[in-house]
Amino acid sequence: MAKTKEQSKDTRNKIVDLHQAGKTESAIGKQLGLKKSTVGAIIRKWKTYKTTDNLPRSGAPRKISPGGVKMITRTVSKNPRTTRGDLVNDLQRAGTKVTKPTISNTLRRQGLKSCSARRVPLLKPVHVQARLKFAREHLDDPEEDWENVTWSDETKIELFGKNSTRRVWRTKNAELHPKNTIPTVKHGGENIMLWGCFSAKGPGRLIRVKERMNGAMYREILSDNLLPSARALKMKCGWVFQHDNDPKHTARATKEWLRKKHFKVLEWPSQSPDLNPIENLWRELKVCVAQQQPQNITALEEICMEEWAKIPATVCENLVKTYRKCLTSVIANKGYITKY
């Protein structure tokens, strides 16, 4: 049976007052916008118990006392990795015997839910401080400055991997039907490495890196693709190039090459993928590719190129327009990884 909405104390008292004034249940219901059955139930309760207050409800008492709830809530707040077994033992030592499901239900009522820990880059204190410094220095930069940045990165896309979660509609005992499965292979399967870039004006070039990338190959990729992308995107004079602190990017030869080519490079804090808006494009690309279920590496590469080219310029523009929110989140999160 569906749970009915409880009327306020004022409404219940008003119903009783109108009833004592001689009005019928139907008339009261129409006046207050309530069902006749609701009005009747409140009047019957008043006649029986001489009150409109909520009566004590039946049900088993809570296994864990208010003090015990505070204790386990405080424990998991200090150490989120505390297990239910640890909490069961803590309560048992305090004289309360409970089960693991009781722990889960109790913490859920406190707004705490057991979730898989997200994998994020390891941040040392120096990384946290660098991220805060970057966010504070650029927080008030005008939007036009970010529109003049070409963002870049590399990513790996697997042929038979877990780039996205898929759900299927199936009948009972049909879980192994080919249509209801995602094929996997040992050791993660085949994959391709991609390099791409974009700006507020749209996606730039996307290329497949067919060999293990080193500094020389990275410089060749930039030479063949970065400038053509900037021209195609009609970047303004003095545009800025962004890449992370991968050793290939920060190698002396790469820095010298960028200097000779007169590239302005955005100083970047290490361990900060969440600060690079291209991560959003990679995520969307992987979802689109997984939906098409390529069966070989050639098809995987073709679909990647097709889906990248379809990314609307408005999506890129919005990512850059909201970049200030990303910096604000980093500051609010005291330099630690944020959602972006």
Contact between residue 280 and residue 245 where contact means Cβ atoms under 8 Å apart: no
Per-residue pLDDT band for 166 (boundaries 50, 70, 90) equals low
Under DSSP, is residue 202 helix (H, G, I), strand (E, B) or coil? Answer: strand
Instruction: DSSP letter for 223, please.
Output: I
Task: Look at residue 300 in the predicted model and tell me its pLDDT.
Answer: 94
Q: Which of 188-197, 268-277, 310-319 has the lowest mean pLDDT?
A: 188-197
pLDDT mean over 67-95: 91
pLDDT tier at 162, thresholds 50, 70, 90: very low
Q: What is the pLDDT of residue 1?
A: 45
**Average pLDDT of 70-96?**
91
Quote the pLDDT of residue 155.
95
Instruction: Estimate to the nearest angstrom the gap between the alpha carbon of 103 and the chain centroid.
Output: 26
Beta-strand pair 191-199/202-209 = antiparallel
- Residue 4: band (very low, low, confident or very high) from pLDDT cuts 50, 70, 90: low
The pLDDT tens digits for 192-203 are 999 999 999 999
At 38, which amino acid appears? Answer: T
pLDDT at 50: 87
Does an H or E element contain 105, and which? helix 100-109
**107 vs 116: CA distance, rounded Å:** 16
Between 61 and 97, the more confident residue is 97
Count CB-CB contacts under 10 A for residue 194.
20
| Position 280 pLDDT exceeds 50 | yes
Angle at which helices 313-321 and 278-292 cross, to 10°: 140
Q: What is the pLDDT of residue 173?
A: 66
Mean pLDDT across the chain: 88
Q: Tell me, what's the pLDDT at 160? A: 65
